[in-house]
Amino acid sequence: MGPLDGVLVADFSRVLAGPYATMLLGDLGATVVKVEPPQGDDTRHWGPPWTADGESTYYQSINRNKSSLVLDLRDAAEHELARRLAARADVLIENFRSGTMDRLGLGYDAVRADNPGIVYCSITGFGSAGGAGMPGYDLVVQAVSGLISLTGTDDEHLSKTGIATADVLTGLHSALGIVAALRHRDRTGVGQRIEANLLSSMLSGLVNFGGAWTLAGEVGRAMGIKHPGIAPYEPFPTADRPLVIAAGNDNLFRRLCDCLGLADLPDDPRFASNGSRVTHRDELAGLLEPVLARESADTWFAKLTTAGVPCGPINDVAQGMQLADSLGLEPVVDVHGSAQVAHPLRFSDTPVAYRAAPPGLDADAEALRAWLSEEPS
Strand order from edge to edge, sheet including 311-313: 233-236, 243-246, 311-313
Sequence-distant (≥ 6) Cβ neighbours of residue 268 within 8 angstroms: none
How far is the C-alpha of 127 from the C-alpha of 134, rounded, in Å?
9
Residue 216 lies in a domain: no
Q: Which residues contact 303 (CB under 8 A, 6 or more apart)?
A: 259, 295
**How big is the chain, counted in residues?**
377
Q: Amino acid letter at 255?
A: R
Backbone angles phi, psi at 92, to 5 degrees: -125, 135
List the one residue out of 223, 177, 221 whose CA is nearest residue 200. Answer: 177
| Closest C-alpha to 244, from 302, 293, 309, 311 | 311
pLDDT of res. 157:
86
Could you tell me if 87 and 111 are in contact, meaning their C-beta atoms sit under 8 angstroms apart?
yes
Burial of 53 (0-12, 13-18, 19+ CB in 10 A): exposed
Say if residue 190 is in the same domain as residue 237: no
Given this model, what pLDDT does residue 222 score?
Answer: 84
349 C-beta neighbours (distance < 10 Å), count: 6
Q: Does residue 164 sit in the same domain as residue 29?
A: yes
Contact (Cβ atoms closer than 8 angstroms) between residue 219 and residue 275:
no
Q: Residue 273: give the domain boundaries.
A: 233-326
Residue 109: which CATH number? 3.40.50.10540
In a domain, 224, yes or no: no
Residue type, 348: S
We report the CATH number of the domain holding residue 266 as 3.30.1540.10
Q: 157 and 266, same structural domain? A: no
Same domain, 167 and 258: no
Cα(96)–Cα(12) distance, rounded to whole angstroms? Answer: 8
Each residue's pLDDT expressed in tens, for the chain with a length of 377 residues: 899 999 999 999 999 999 999 999 999 999 999 999 999 999 999 999 999 989 999 999 999 999 999 999 999 999 999 999 999 999 999 999 888 999 999 999 999 999 999 999 999 998 889 888 888 889 999 999 999 999 988 888 888 999 999 999 999 999 999 999 999 999 999 999 999 999 999 999 999 999 999 999 989 888 878 888 899 999 999 999 999 999 989 999 999 999 999 999 999 999 999 999 999 999 999 999 999 999 999 999 999 999 999 999 999 899 999 999 999 999 999 999 999 999 999 999 999 999 999 999 999 999 999 999 888 76
DSSP 228-290: SS-SSEEEE--SSS-EEEE--SHHHHHHHHHHHT-TTGGGSTTTSSHHHHHHTHHHHHHHHHH
**pTM confidence score:** 0.92
Q: Are the CB atoms for 269 and 223 separated by under 8 Å?
A: no
Both 316 and 358 in a single domain? no
> Does 123 map to a domain?
yes
Do 310 and 182 share a domain, yes or no?
no
Residues 344 and 321 in one domain: no
Domain membership flag for residue 222: no
Is the distance from CB of 104 to CB of 94 less than 8 angstroms? Answer: no
Tell me: do 200 and 265 sit in the same domain. Answer: no
CA 72 to chain centre: 29
Q: Is residue 238 part of a domain?
A: yes
Is residue 78 included in any domain, yes or no?
yes
What's residue 375's pLDDT?
A: 80
pLDDT of residue 1: 81
φ, ψ at 33 (rounded to 5°): -105, 115
Contact in structure between 106 and 86 (CB atoms under 8 Å):
yes
Task: Let me know whether 317 and 188 are in one domain.
Answer: no
* 269 and 154 assigned to the same domain: no
Q: Could you tell me if residue 256 is inside a domain?
A: yes
> Rounded to an integer, what distance in angstroms lies between the CA atom of residue 162 and that of residue 147?
12
Residue among 60, 21, 59 nearest 340 (CA):
60
Which among 253, 252, 313 has a CA at the least distance from the CA of 288? 253
* Active site members: 167
Q: Would you say residue 334 lies in a domain?
A: no
Whether residue 101 is found in the same domain as residue 55: yes
Give the pLDDT confidence score for residue 305 in this predicted structure. 95
Same domain (yes/no): 180, 240:
no
Please, what's the b/e burial string for 71-102 (b: 16 or more CB within 10 A of its CB; e: otherwise)? Answer: bebeeeebbebbbbbbbbbbbbbbbbebebbe
CA distance 175 to 5: 15
Contact by Cβ (8 Å): 238, 300: yes
Give the number of domains in the chain: 2
At 22 the pLDDT is 98
